[in-house]
Amino acid sequence: MQRIMICGAGGQLGQKLIGAAKAAPNDWRIFAYNRSSLDITRPEDLRVALAEARPNICFNAAAYTAVDRAESEPARAAAINVEGARRLAAACQEAGIAFVHFSTDYVYADGYNRPLRETDRTLGTSVYARTKLEGENEVLRHHPGAYVIRTSWVYAEYGHNFVRTMLRLGREREELGIVCDQVGSPTYAGDLAAAAMQLSASGAPPGIYNFANSGVCSWYDLAKAVHTMGGIECTVRPIMTEQYPTPAKRPSYSVLDTRKIAATVGTPRHWREALTSCMDKLARHAAGAAPLP
> Catalytic residue positions?
128
CB half-sphere exposure, 33, CA atoms < 13 A: 23
Q: Which residues pair with 148 in a beta bridge?
A: 101, 208
Contact between residue 132 and residue 103 where contact means Cβ atoms under 8 Å apart: yes
114 three-state secondary structure: coil
Q: Which residues pair with 218 in a beta bridge?
A: 183
Burial code of 112-150, b = ≥16 C-beta within 10 A, e = fewer? Answer: beebbebebebebbbbbbbbbbbbbbbbbebbeebbbbb
Query: Strands 147-151 and 175-179, how do they pair?
Result: unpaired
Report in angstroms the alpha-carbon separations of 101 from 14, 16, 58, 129, 176.
12, 15, 9, 15, 35
Contact between residue 131 and residue 82 where contact means Cβ atoms under 8 Å apart: yes
The Cα–Cα gap between 2 and 97 comes to 12
Contact between residue 249 and residue 105 where contact means Cβ atoms under 8 Å apart: no
Angle subtended at Cα 234 by Cα 232 and Cα 237, rounded to the nearest 5 degrees: 135
Rounded to the nearest 10 degrees, what angle do helices 127-142 and 85-95 cross at?
A: 10
